[in-house]
């Protein structure tokens, strides 16, 4: 549950409580240091540099012991620290200036505190691109993270605090969000998306029967659902980055929708299907090679080697195709109106105007992905903006539809009618946050 009227000091207290349950041997900063850190970053987020909003990531990391437990094998893309000749006092002015040279997609500023609790910037950390790629579902494996934790300025008054790949909390203006709702994995929204992937699952089932008769579809169904959800998450993240706002409507009913730019785009659907097939091909080729070597044979067949290499290359090429499809579709939301998808996720056009006007007397905001009765709080739909009200009206009058609205400030809300209630979910999880095994869980 999000905490309203929150301040940087509330974020500091929340993070401190989390860190006190960590299994790390690193020093945990005092509450006063955390308060100063988050306050400085919070007010930095309200500044501009050369007319651009400031976006920067800092890593709290000890300059005297930046890498206490390096792995046995150092991979080529692992992070490294580049020290400044002279450390800088951590101030709003310093962060604003350095933000131009430290794009959060590739760089993090190394920050620590002295014995008096004074914060300073002592260097920069490279190779952050691999971390961001994994968070945004653009990479299959995540990189090891340096320091104690990372803090990112994502927007005005918006701070994300991450420990490894676990989100400790987000401070969004005056709201402290301890977690995001995973509506794409569990609950009614998840059921809709999994049902919408039925065509893809049928294609994969047919492919398995024809090409890999020994493979059971049930072993791949979860994988198929995962790809579908990842692609939708990436599309929403891409739309967020435009800071224009937008809306996606998934429905087979086009009554009450005026599509200004009608166009049928099915390439994304086919690309996902082909990606799944080549993933299976690559997995099976690897399994055959492993079985061959496991049996004590020192030589593998030319065919097996070529198939493994071919499938891997094809998989990588299709991954790039999916990335291009996502960018293509996300750009359509920069035109005012709805991006319309049929339930099999084929785009039917953009710039859609929802003409349905009859509104429910109230909607219900769910604090849980499952929309259990205890999680629902009634709200007045009239308190929302035009984009939200039009989506509420449409989803109310067309049961089975799923609406997703992205605000200019990046908030994502989902709308769906369940029986006689129009449910709204907010604070939706779109990034690949994973629980860290370095944090102890409370019973």
CATH number of the domain encompassing residue 226 = 3.40.1700.10
H or E element: which one contains 219? helix 218-242
Residues 164, 209, single domain; the answer is no
Question: What is the pLDDT at residue 141?
Answer: 79
Residues 196, 345, single domain; the answer is yes
Question: What is the pLDDT at residue 180?
Answer: 93
Residues 173, 298, single domain; the answer is no
Residues 173, 297, single domain; the answer is no
**Does 24 map to a domain?**
yes
Question: What is the pLDDT at residue 442?
Answer: 57
Residue 26 structure tokens: 């690193």
Question: CA-based Rg of the chain, rounded to a whole angstrom?
Answer: 24
Count of structural domains within the chain: 2
Q: Do 396 and 390 contact (CB within 8 A), yes or no? A: no
Residues 18, 79, single domain; the answer is yes
Residues 156, 215, single domain; the answer is no
* Distance (Å) of CA 275 to CA 112, 270, 320, 350: 44, 9, 10, 26
**Does 281 map to a domain?**
yes
Residue 255 structure tokens: 């009554």
Q: Do 146 and 169 contact (CB within 8 A), yes or no? A: no
Q: What phi and psi values does residue 77 have, to the nearest 5 degrees?
A: -95, 15
Residues 153, 199, single domain; the answer is no
Question: What is the pLDDT at residue 143?
Answer: 82
- In angstroms, rounded to a whole number, what is the distance separating the alpha carbons of residues 170 and 183? 18
Residues 242, 141, single domain; the answer is no
Residues 231, 286, single domain; the answer is yes
Question: What is the pLDDT at residue 297?
Answer: 72
Q: Do 257 and 354 contact (CB within 8 A), yes or no? A: yes
**Does 441 map to a domain?**
no
> What is the domain-level CATH number for residue 23?
3.40.1700
Question: What is the pLDDT at residue 1?
Answer: 62
DSSP states along 325-356: HHHHHHHHTTSSSEEEE-TT--EEEEEEEE--
Domain residues for 343? Answer: 188-425
**Does 435 map to a domain?**
no
Strand 48-49 versus strand 158-163 pairing type: unpaired
SS3 134: helix
Question: What is the pLDDT at residue 23?
Answer: 74
Residues 61, 206, single domain; the answer is no
**Does 182 map to a domain?**
no
- For 88, counting Cβ atoms within 10 Å of its Cβ (0-12 exposed, 13-18 middle, 19+ buried), the class is middle
H or E element: which one contains 16? helix 8-19
**Does 432 map to a domain?**
no
H or E element: which one contains 292? helix 267-294
**Pick from 219, 176, 174: which is nearest to 201 by CA?**
219
Residues 289, 230, single domain; the answer is yes
pLDDT truncated to tens, each residue of the chain (443 aa)?
677 889 999 999 999 999 988 777 678 999 999 999 999 999 999 998 888 889 999 999 999 999 988 888 888 899 999 999 999 999 999 999 999 999 999 999 999 999 999 999 999 999 999 988 999 998 887 788 899 999 999 889 999 999 989 999 999 999 999 999 999 999 999 999 999 999 999 999 999 999 998 888 988 999 999 999 999 999 999 999 898 999 999 998 888 999 999 999 999 999 999 999 999 999 999 988 888 777 777 777 778 789 899 999 999 999 999 999 999 999 999 999 999 999 988 999 999 999 988 999 999 999 999 999 999 999 999 999 999 999 999 999 999 999 999 998 889 999 999 999 999 999 999 999 888 777 766 54
SS3 3: strand
**Does 439 map to a domain?**
no
Which of residues 177, 205, 227 is at a domain's end?
A: 177
Which of residues 144, 177, 210 is at a domain's end?
A: 177
**Does 1 map to a domain?**
no
**Pick from 157, 44, 57: which is nearest to 105 by CA?**
57
Residues 169, 205, single domain; the answer is no
Question: What is the pLDDT at residue 262?
Answer: 95
């Amino acid at each position: 549950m999000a905490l309203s009227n929150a301040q940087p000091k509330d974020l500091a207290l929340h993070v401190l409580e989390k860190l006190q349950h960590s299994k790390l041997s690193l020093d945990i900063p005092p509450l006063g240091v955390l308060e100063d850190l988050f306050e400085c970053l919070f007010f930095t987020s309200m500044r501009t540099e050369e007319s651009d909003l400031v976006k920067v990531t800092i890593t709290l990391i000890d300059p005297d012991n930046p890498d206490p437990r390096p792995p046995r094998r150092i991979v080529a893309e692992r992070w490294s620290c580049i020290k400044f000749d002279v450390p800088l006092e951590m101030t709003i002015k310093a962060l604003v200036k350095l933000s131009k040279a430290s794009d959060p997609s590739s760089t993090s500023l190394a920050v620590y505190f002295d014995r008096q609790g004074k914060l300073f910037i002592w260097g920069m950390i490279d190779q952050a691109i691999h971390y961001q790629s994994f968070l945004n579902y653009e990479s299959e494996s995540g990189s090891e993270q340096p320091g104690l934790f990372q803090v990112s300025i994502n927007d005005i008054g918006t701070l994300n605090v991450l420990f490894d790949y676990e989100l400790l909390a987000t401070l969004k203006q005056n709201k402290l969000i301890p977690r995001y709702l995973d509506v794409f994995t569990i609950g009614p929204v998840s059921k809709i998306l999994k049902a919408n992937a039925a065509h893809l699952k049928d294609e994969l089932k047919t492919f398995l029967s024809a090409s890999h008769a020994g493979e059971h579809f049930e072993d791949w169904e979860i994988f198929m659902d995962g790809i579908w959800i990842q692609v939708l998450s990436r599309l929403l993240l891409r739309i967020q980055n435009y800071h224009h706002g937008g809306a996606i409507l998934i429905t087979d009913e086009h009554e009450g929708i005026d599509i200004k730019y009608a166009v049928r785009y099915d390439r994304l659907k086919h690309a996902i299907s082909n990606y799944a097939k080549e993933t299976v091909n690559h997995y099976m080729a690897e399994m055959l090679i492993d079985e061959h070597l496991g049996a004590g044979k020192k030589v593998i067949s030319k065919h097996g080697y070529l198939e493994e290499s071919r499938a891997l290359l094809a998989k990588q090429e299709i991954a790039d195709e999916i990335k291009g499809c996502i960018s293509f579709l996300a750009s359509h939301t920069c035109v005012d109106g709805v991006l319309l998808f049929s339930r099999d996720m084929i785009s039917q056009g953009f710039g859609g105007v929802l003409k349905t006007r009859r509104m429910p007397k109230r909607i219900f905001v769910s604090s849980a992905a499952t929309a259990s009765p205890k999680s629902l709080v009634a709200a007045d739909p009239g308190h929302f903006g035009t984009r939200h009200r039009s989506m509420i009206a449409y989803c109310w009058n067309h049961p089975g539809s799923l609406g997703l609205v992205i605000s200019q400030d990046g908030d994502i809300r989902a709308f769906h009618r369940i029986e006689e209630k129009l449910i709204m979910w907010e604070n939706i999880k779109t990034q690949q946050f994973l629980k860290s095994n370095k944090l102890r869980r409370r019973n």
